[in-house]
Every structure is written in C-alpha cells, then in structure tokens.
Amino acid sequence: QALRISSLDWDANNNYGWFLCQHKRYAEGIQHFMTAVKNPLYKTPDKSYVNAGMCARESGDEAAATQYFLRALTTQPSQPQALFQLADMAFRRGESAAAKQYLDRLSRTGSALNAEALWLALRVERRLGDREAEASFGLQLRRNFPNSRETQALLNRQYE
C-alpha cells in the first residue's frame, strides 16, 4: 500500500525488500533495497546495503553480499552489521587475518559485541593461535551471555 502511494519511499522499499527476502524472493528484495538507496534524501542507505548483503548471502551469492557490505561501509565506515558479516564470511573462507581486521574495526565502533560477535572473535583468535585473546573473549562470552547458544558451544568445545 505504501509503495502504491509513493514508489520511491525509502522506508517502504527497505521494509518490503526485507519482507521479500524473508520469503526467499531474493532478487525482488534486493531490487527494493537498491530503489531505496537511489533516493538522495535517504539518510541511512547503509542499512539497505546491509539488508541487500544479508539477502544476497542468504541466497548463496557471497560475492554480491560482499559488494553490498562494502558499499555499506563506503556510506557508513563504522556500520557494525556490515563489519560483522564481512568478518564472518572471511572466517568461513579461512581468512582469519582478514576476519580479525573486520572484528577489530567493529570493536572500535563503540558497539558492544553481542554473543555472536564474541564467539566469532574467540574462534578467529583460536585459529590464529592467540590463546590469551581467545581466553579473554571466552570470559566475556561466559560473563555477558551465560545462557547463549554460543556459550553452550564454548562449554561443549564445539568450535566449528
């Protein structure tokens, strides 16, 4: 309904794009995110780029996802979700040093690391062989998120 009233409305395009992605209509969803970012009055295009990246990643297109996350960082260099997603993708490709760089940037944004980010940071440090940093992230994870699935994986030594 909102898009019928104003087809260029960035919020409506962003929200509808997310709806489409959740219903596995990835290409259509990404089209709506890109319509949103084309509006010069849109104040937070980084959010639509991140959503497009999440949608592309969910569809299995990691190359496109990477490009959308990098675009998000171009518009907002401290975009936490883009930094996390890029770190996670780098880690999954076996590029631990790159993952660490993205996580370091994420920690400098001032955003508190959630359980998922702490778990990723712990596993990155484990792969890199920094046992002290690994232990530090493990302590933070157990202290701040004792009931999380990430803490349970740590306690069960299920790192992969």
Cβ neighbors of 149 (< 8 A, separation 6 or more) are: 115
The whole-angstrom separation of Cα 157 and Cα 142 is: 13
Cβ neighbors of 5 (< 8 A, separation 6 or more) are: none
Inter-axis angle of helices 62-75 and 80-92, to 10 degrees? 150
The 3-state DSSP composition of the chain as helix, strand, coil percent (nearest 5) reads 75, 0, 25
pTM: predicted TM-score of the whole model, two decimal places: 0.91
Write the pLDDT tens digit of every residue in 126-153.
Answer: 999 999 999 999 999 999 999 999 999 9
Write the pLDDT tens digit of every residue in 20-65.
Answer: 999 999 999 999 999 999 988 889 999 999 999 999 999 999 999 9
